[in-house]
Structure 1
């Protein structure tokens, strides 16, 4: 069985790698940063002006009624964001692109704050009612309603299902299996069976069940990981200035070469930093808007600000924690000097680095961290996939969701025993296709989100504590579903 999986993985890699490389090297690297800069200017640098407001609305106590609250939507999207990209993905970016990849990951996050606001605000504006009391929405919905192009919305939905329902679930499961094997010598297939059982217990409860689980697990695991990384930073404080200098210099091609022939080329650092940054914070990818749309809020811009803060938590804080753990470890220095061209498993590097700092406790902690990080990501990936499968098959939604659940559980099992390269190749390609589709759509629709932000800020200046949205401020209010904003 394992030999068959290996053969299929190699064949898939030969097909997907050149296509994925072209999309990332010649399209997305420029489209992602370019769109983020455009949105930054259009919103008058909202990521800096409204950072305090982002924190306030994220942690404000608001009830979602029978649906999903603003914080539950935030926790669900953060569950999807905080996963393999934060631990294994950062390690891979460092190894292939060098420390300079971390710099470009930060840049991706900074401009991504504005991108996350635009797409999540649009998702809120064009969300729809659902019989279970939880709103539905996302890129597929605003592409159809605002652009009038259902075919393009369907295309995006297919890309998302391939990425989240299949590739990303496999990637998360793969990382959990590697971590459990490295820390406790648990066979990968055993981890796969346990994950399938735990995942089934929650996803069969629907999107509300996922939101409740995310709300309880995500804050605890994120704070714990941050505190451990902060402790490592403090005990190695004398090495921090040199580490920061290395990151910045490497981003522009200066520094000793590592990673074999890859070295420290600027393009390689940019490509890996942006790719893993996007995989981690998902800004512009079109995934987080699916969670944003479920929130029962009074104004779309409020949830847009909440999702922007999610990028801060994910990339600027948690991904940076992983970079600190690895770059300040003796493991990283040893590998650079002795095995620069070696193939490496992403989570193993993070695990070894944590062990170097904290001994056996570090190895166990990182294994448990990735278990919770990646498991909640699988749950959120299901929620995104279910929303989009319902969009594709509105007349047969229940049957389609049932099939989707079975496919996700199968991919969790396959991912646990598959090669890491195959899973990441598939994830990169699917992510690139859906991100390209979504970025083009939100570039066209961005004036709507900006108009909505101005309305929100106007009401705040007038002293309104919780601004209320009226679709009549839009040029085409008839495209918003009736009853959603009554």
Structure 2
């Protein structure tokens, strides 16, 4: 039954909706992910983007790294290998297409999460799909916001925490012979030390961990490319030809290439699933579009950079034969491919990368669960501590347990989670476009750093306390007032 529901959700309904939202918003926003691509770097380079806990807030950069910690995981290493095995090299092309469209979807959901966020007494913010559903769609949709929060708690807070622990422990055990229960206990202790410090401590850890793991993996990928520089054009041609059926694509032809590329792209970058908006909302920014732009960049990092790195490591190796496919798949294919390039230590490197990716994802999953619990319980400290203890226990238990049924169940709940979020995004496209036009019009009027005036959106349920700008971002009201409903 679980397999049947998963096939229906992920094989038909969600893929159609995710593609429709991605392409639809790309067109309606006039290709916002391309128009503002270079602005991503200007936003991150601004002074407020890197300030640590300035005025008690988290920075835009910290929120970006926290979301990258969640997006970048086992799917970037094992998932890409599975896509190539089942869909052929052409799957990578369609993964790129989905990533580019997913940047627009992420822009929309993360802009909405910023606009509808709530101010907390300690100077932080809370936000995400539950907040933009309840505020943006009104009281009649409170049930959907509550359902979304429950699904988020069950899926990420509980299910995927245990699954990541299992993946990390088994990978470390295979590579280094460390018993899974030892790894599980070590994970539980480390996670406990971090999560009891709240989102600020999680952000500080990911601020260090994510660049190390991402840059380290990319350095290896660049090394592989340098060693095989003459073969790169052939690999790119193989990807493109296979994507359009111009070359024999192992795994079922062009249909399999499209299906596997689309599914892997969606699963990896999470655009549209509603998870990233929960962390996008925690940042202080002068305008919600700022974080929408930054978060679309996290999709680019995940799919166009990290997933591509894995793809080229595999396709440029002797472990994969385009004519025959691979005799191995998943993480084993990535390990064999890297070992073919740099020697046997490459297998251990992949395991270490999985360990870091998995650990950062556990922290991300915890925060998603905490955010959903906060929405449902309204700052109940006792429940928060009980949840933290449960997460620590899941890290230890999950490492030693075969979680096949848990994984199938979590896939179903994640599918329902995505369905709820996509319905909300479709219904909230108009306010999303209003926020974007407000930003666009300020830039057109010569305002170098647009700011958000909540009073101009009085017809929307915006929390004015969440949009009290800091002194350095306050400016004369010289920008136009394009806030009338379109």
- Decide which of 67, 70, 76 is 2:57's aligned counterpart: 67
**CA-atom RMSD in angstroms:** 2.1
Separation in 1, partners of 2:410, 2:81: 16
Matches within 5 A, 1:216-235: 216-235=208-227
Contact 1:415 1:423 in 2 (8 A): no
Further displaced range: 368-377 or 294-303: 368-377
Is 2:182 aligned against 1:198? no
Displacement of 1:337: 5.6
- Does residue 1:90 correspond to 2:72, yes or no? no
Other-structure match for 2:478: none
Residue matched to 2:41: 55
- Alignment correspondent of 1:407: 390
**Length-normalised TM-score, structure 2:** 0.90
Residues matched between the structures, number: 462
1:150 Cα offset (Å): 1.0
Structure 1 residues 408 and 286 mapped into 2: Cα distance closer, same or farther (>3 Å)?
same
1:76 matched residue in structure 2: 66
Query: Which of 285, 302, 313 is the aligned partner of 2:290?
Result: 302
Q: Residue in 2 aligned with 1:181?
A: 173
**2:371 matches 1:387:** yes
In the other structure, the counterpart of 2:424 is 441
Q: Which residue of 1 aligns with 2:150?
A: 158
Give the structure 2 partner of residue 288 of structure 1.
Answer: 276
Deviations 1:68-117 (A, max 9, x none): 11111111111111111211222222223332322221111100111001
Q: Among residues 228, 241, 244, which one is paired with 1:236 in the alignment?
A: 228
| Counterparts of 1:334 and 1:301, CA distance in 2 | 43
Gaps of 5+ in 1: 1-14
State the shift of 1:338 in Å: 7.2
Offset of residue 469 of structure 1: 0.1
> Which range is displaced more, 458-467 or 30-39?
458-467
Quickly say closer, same or farther: Cα 1:209–1:480, change in 2 above 3 A: same
Query: Which of 340, 343, 348 matches 1:359?
Result: 343
Q: Is 2:297 the counterpart of 1:313?
A: no
Q: Structure 1, residues 8-44: CA drift from partner, whole Å, max 9, x if none?
A: xxxxxxx321111111122111111111011101110
Map Cα deviations across residues 193-235 of structure 1 (whole Å, 9 max, x no partner): 2111111110111111111111111122212211210110121
Query: What is the SS of the residue equivalent to 1:330?
Result: coil
Q: Is the 8 A contact 2:454 2:464 kept in 1?
A: no
3-state SS of the aligned residue for 2:192?
A: helix
Look up the match of 1:170: 162
- Unaligned 5+ residue runs, structure 2? 469-486
Provide the C-alpha distance between the structure 2 equivalents of 1:468 and 1:197, rounded to a whole number of angstroms.
42
Q: Give 1:66 shift.
A: 0.6
Give the equivalent residue in structure 2 for 1:8: none
Give the structure 1 partner of residue 361 of structure 2: 377
Pair 161,265 (structure 1): closer, same or farther in 2 beyond 3 Å:
farther
Aligned partner of 2:202 in structure 1 is 210
Q: Deviations over 1:361-420 (max 9, x none)?
A: 32232222222121111111111110111111126x222222322332333334323447
1:483 alignment partner, SS class: helix
Contact kept? 2:119, 2:126, Cα under 8 Å: yes
TM-score when normalising by structure 1: 0.90
Per-residue CA deviation, residues 35-55 of structure 1 (Å, 9 max, x unaligned), is 101110111001111100012
CA distance in 2, matches of 1:336, 1:399: 57
Tell me which moved more, 212-221 or 455-464: 455-464
